[in-house]
Structure 1
Amino acid sequence: MDFSNNILGTIGNTPLVKLNKVVDGIDALVLAKVETFNPGNSVKDRMAVKMVEDAEADGRLKPGGTIIEGTSGNTGMGLALVAIIKGYKLICVISDKQSKEKMDILRAVGAKVVVCPTNVEPTDPRSYYSVSKRLAEETPNSWYVNQYDNLSNSLAHYEQTGPEIWKQTDGKITHFVVGVGTGGTISGVGKYLKEKNPNIKIWGIDTYGSVFKKYHETGIFDENEIYSYITEGIGEDILPKNVDFSLIDGFTKVTDKDAAVYTRKLALEEAIFVGNSAGACIKGLLQLKEHFKTDDVVVVLFHDSGSRYVGKMFNDDWMRERGFLDENVTKAEDVIKDHIDKELIVVRTEELVSHAIERMRKYKISQIPVVDINGFVGSVDETDLFRSYVADKNVAEKPIKEVMGKPFPIVKLGTSIEEVSKLFTKENDAVLIDLGNGNHHIITKYDIIGAIK
């Protein structure tokens, strides 16, 4: 009989899969190391077991203890498997940008999940780094994993992932490409492969809002490069000890949109349902294609499963809200198609300014057309009202006609986006589109910006 004593015995030996359509234009053989085949559906299972076993060996983690970790979700899942099998409690501290699926999965396997804000400094007491450390200090018989600086992370990949890739490619690998977060995968695999063949190139995939690429190229930790981004699992606003920059030949940065789009392409064109960082890796590969020759063997590692992003990259509404869907937007009506059926909010000339202000608050809008019995005769926006209020504190009880500006321009259905855009000026913040049958809709600068791809 061939079986594992528990689920931890199934970690590793994940397959290499040749990529085809999605890497069209790259001459080299491109192989994906698909880590979703691990029981926790991610590469993080490997280092979770290694970090726990090393902590047990040197006494940092004691029987019945509580494991505490800040995680983007995947390390938490790996730790949850180990905690269940070995009898530990687990607290996962996760940032609020991570998918709901990741949080739900962690709770499903018994972890306590603490959610922290994303858009704060690492040293902020609310950050998931700080909260993890504080919980470890406050919780009796606990161990703070700290995957970023815990070198058992990269050692796991040096001992397991690197040798697997070398064996599976029969030593013919020429390039290894992977997203960089904690740095354990790229450093552990990179160290092993370069020991086998120093000519193998190691490329890291970074994201905009992260410090890795510039630091690698200049040695400068530029805090101006740090800002919130959507892509999960790669990039950092710190320099983890697991990132060994001496092993990395270079980085390329991938936008949030490209990472999301190529994640979907992998599912649709290769039938490989993997996560957000995999899409970033594919776009990064295409950006690096001039580095690859016909006889090269390029291995790219896919970290996790697409099931953790069903509510994000694989959801059309989520993609559309962020302008990530490449939809054909050429006409005026295209930019408002998601809300074209909403009633146009107007105010009449004899109504009071207070009525316009009330409508702006209620409907969360900044511009309102002004009408009388003949049609559109003016407009008001929050800037006009603010200036009027500064000049006269009693303006709220005055009729709209005394403070209104010029009416918004009106365009017909089918008017091009280019023509509509020309109508926006410093003095004019909106355009009306005539839908026919006496119906109109408003187009704002926000609508135009939302259509920009």
Structure 2
Amino acid sequence: MPVITVPHAFNEEDLYVDLRPIFGHSLFLKCEGFNFAGSIKLKTAIEMVESAERDGTLTPESIIVESSSGNLGVALSVIAASKGYRFLCVTDPRCNLATRLIMEALGSQVHVIAAQKAQGGFLGARLAYVNALCDSDSRYVWLSQYTNPSNWKAHYRRTAPEIARAFPGVDVVFVGAGTTGTLMGCTRYFHEWHRPVRVVAIDSVGSVSFGGPPGRRMIPGLGMSVRPPLLDETYVDEVIHVEEANTIRTCRRLARRGFLFGGSTGTVVSGAMGWLDQHDTHDLTAVAIAADLGERYLDTIYQTNWLQALYGEDVLDTTAPPTGSRTAGTRPGGRGTATT
């Protein structure tokens, strides 16, 4: 029986769901939402905070500040509350109400940026606010998940080895791309592993991370409006972009079978199923990462009025295939790109 004294001492890392009964392809979904922060970002948060403590960047007088669309903000709220730091999360209107309320319940301050920048969207506006804040007061310490190597190192040291231990014969790993911390940690680890593992990045249509055109994105968790500084595409074998309508259908299809996951998981599973449809899956071991659970999305991707207003009636058809047409091309270095 685990007995802990700090919230980050507990994190269920070895729970997988085989999605074959739901989608027809065997895909082992690594569930990262069972900890006190409710997402994979707990690993990122503790790695960044403890690294900053070791190098002296964080002191007892410091105020941690971070730009986040949700999950990292909650994770840093948990760590800050546990360690006695003040924390300010800078977010935007796409952050779910439940997420903002959780951060405030944990004692954090939340600042919502209302207007986008012409170049860089909401993220650009958030980063401009954080920079101005840090320039105005030396007590503010920006951990910068977008540039901090501790972001990807958390997953190089923990997430990828966990997958390797659970599935020593893994052939392909599907990882959602946001800041690309999880992606880069996993793909760096498997690049060095003793056997070849294909790492497929899953991104949202409208994200510019891999050079695609910018577009509307309403579901937080994946995608960027600027190129992620942590991204090194030479490690990435393939990229798949997923339409948000397919994200929603996949989330709701999983929910109808009792699995309530967040939006990024719907994107990753939708993209993975599209990839598996196009490949010989006989004797193939495939793993995908589910970053969080779905309770924080009840007023968005699981709320009928919100969905119909943004995506129309068809998005509620959970009997439709979770992935759309898939068109593949060639990226530099022989890596593939696709859209679902």
The TM tier, using the shorter chain, reads: 0.7 to 0.9
The whole-number CA distance in structure 2 between the counterparts of 1:58 and 1:257 is: 44
Return the alpha-carbon distance in structure 1 between the equivalents of residues 110 and 29 of structure 2.
31
- How far the C-alpha of 1:152 sits from its partner, in A, is 0.2
Deviations for 1:319-350, whole angstroms, at most 9, x for unmatched residues? 12223543899xxxxxxxxxxxxxxxxxxxxx
8 Å CA contact retained: 2:249, 2:316? no
Q: Describe the shift of the 1:100–1:292 C-alpha distance in structure 2 as closer, same or farther (beyond 3 A).
A: farther
**In the alignment, does 2:245 pair up with 1:248?**
no
- Once the two structures are TM-superposed, the CA of residue 94 in structure 1 deviates from its matched residue by 0.4
Q: What's the CA shift string for 1:423-448, capped at 9, x where partnerless?
A: xxxxxxxxxxxxxxxxxxxxxxxxxx
Q: Which amino acid aligns with 2:46?
A: V
| C-alpha distance in 1 between matches for 2:241 and 2:316 | 26
Query: What percentage of aligned pairs have identical amino acids?
Result: 27
Q: Please say if 1:130 is aligned against 2:118.
A: no
**Residues 5-55 of structure 1: per-residue CA shift (max 9 Å, x gap):** 31110035241221133322x3xx310011111221100000100000000
Report what 1:372 is aligned to.
none
Alpha carbons of structure 1 residues 281 and 88: separation in structure 2 relative to 1, 3 Å: same
Give the secondary-structure state (helix, strand or coil) at the position aligned to 1:291.
coil
Gaps of at least 5 residues in structure 2 are 318-340
Cα distance in 2 between the residues matched to 1:166 and 1:302: 16
Given that residues 64 and 140 in structure 2 are in contact (C-alpha distance below 8 angstroms), is that contact kept between their aligned partners in structure 1? Answer: yes
In structure 1, C-alpha distance between the alignment counterparts of 2:195 and 2:208, rounded to whole Å: 26
Gap runs ≥5 in structure 1 = 216-221, 330-453
Partner SS, residue 36 of structure 1 = coil
Asked if the contact 1:125–1:131 (Cα under 8 Å) also holds between the matched residues in 2, the reply is no
Structure 1 residues 320 and 51, CA, compared in 2 at 3 Å: closer, same or farther? same
Please state if 1:202 is matched with 2:202. Answer: no
Match of 1:55 among 52, 63, 68: 52
Greater relative contact order: 1 or 2 (C-alpha under 8 angstroms, separation 6 or more)? 2
Taking the aligned partners of 1:113 and 1:210, their CA distance within structure 2 comes to 25
1:231 and 1:60, CA in 2 relative to 1: closer, same or farther beyond 3 A? Answer: same
- Residue from 262, 270, 279 that aligns with 1:275: 262
Asked if 1:114 corresponds to 2:111, the answer is yes
Distance in 1 of aligned mates of 2:177 and 2:171: 19
State the partner residue of 2:137: 139
Q: Is 2:89 aligned against 1:92? A: yes
Q: What's 2:274 paired with?
A: 287
Q: Separation in 1 of the partners of 2:273 and 2:123?
A: 39
- The structural deviation recorded for 1:125 is 10
Alpha-carbon RMSD across the aligned residues, in angstroms, is 2.1
Partner in structure 2 of residue 148 of structure 1: 146
Find the partner of 1:32 among 12, 29, 38: 29
Q: Which residue, out of 272, 277, 286, partners 1:298?
A: 286
- Which residue does 1:361 correspond to in 2? none
Match of 1:391 in 2: none
Q: 1:207 to 1:327 in 2, by over 3 A?
A: closer
**Residues 292 and 230 (structure 1), Cα distance of their counterparts in 2 relative to 1, 3 Å cut:** farther
- 2:306 aligned to 306, 309, 318, which one? 318
Structure 1 equivalent of residue 100 of structure 2: 103
- Residue 19 of structure 2 corresponds to 19
Offset of 1:284 from its aligned partner?
0.5
Confirm or deny: 8 A CA contact 1:96 1:117 kept in the other structure: yes
How far apart are the structure 2 equivalents of 1:95 and 1:175? 34
Which secondary structure state, in structure 1, belongs to the residue aligned with residue 192 of structure 2?
A: helix
Aligned counterpart, 1:308? 296
- Partner Cα distance (1:211, 1:286) in 2: 22
Cα distance in 1 for partners of 2:123, 2:315 equals: 41
Does the 8 Å contact 1:93/1:113 carry over to 2? Answer: yes
Write the distance in 1 (CA, Å) between the matches of 2:71 and 2:145.
Answer: 11
Equivalent in the alignment of 2:320: none
The number of equivalent residue pairs is: 315
- Asked if structure 1 preserves the Cα contact closer than 8 Å seen for 2:33 and 2:291, the reply is yes
Deviations 1:116-165 (A, max 9, x none): 13643338897111112212222342210110110100000000111111
Match of 1:428 in 2: none
Contact 2:200 2:238 in 1 (8 A): yes
- Contact in 1 for aligned 2:245/2:315 (Cα 8 Å): no
The 2-side partners of 1:38 and 1:199 are apart by: 31
SS at 1:205's partner residue? Answer: strand
Q: TM-score, normalised by structure 1?
A: 0.66
| 1:3 equivalent in structure 2 | 3
CA distance in 1, matches of 2:215, 2:137: 32
Shift in alpha-carbon separation, 1:61–1:306, aligned structure 2, 3 A: same
Contact 1:184 1:242 in 2 (8 A): yes
Q: Look at both structures and tell me which one has the larger radius of gyration over its CA atoms.
A: 1
Is the CA contact (8 Å cut-off) linking 2:246 and 2:267 kept in structure 1? yes
Give the corresponding residue for 2:165: 167
Q: What is the TM-score with the length of structure 2 in the denominator? A: 0.87
- Cα distance, 1:299 vs structure 2: 0.7
- What residue identity is the alignment partner of 1:5? T
- Cα distance, 1:247–1:12 mapped onto 2, change above 3 Å: farther
- Going from structure 1 to structure 2, the CA distance change for 1:292 and 1:278 (only over 3 Å counts) comes to farther
Looking at structure 1, the residues matched to 247 and 147 of structure 2 have their Cα atoms a distance apart, in angstroms, of: 26
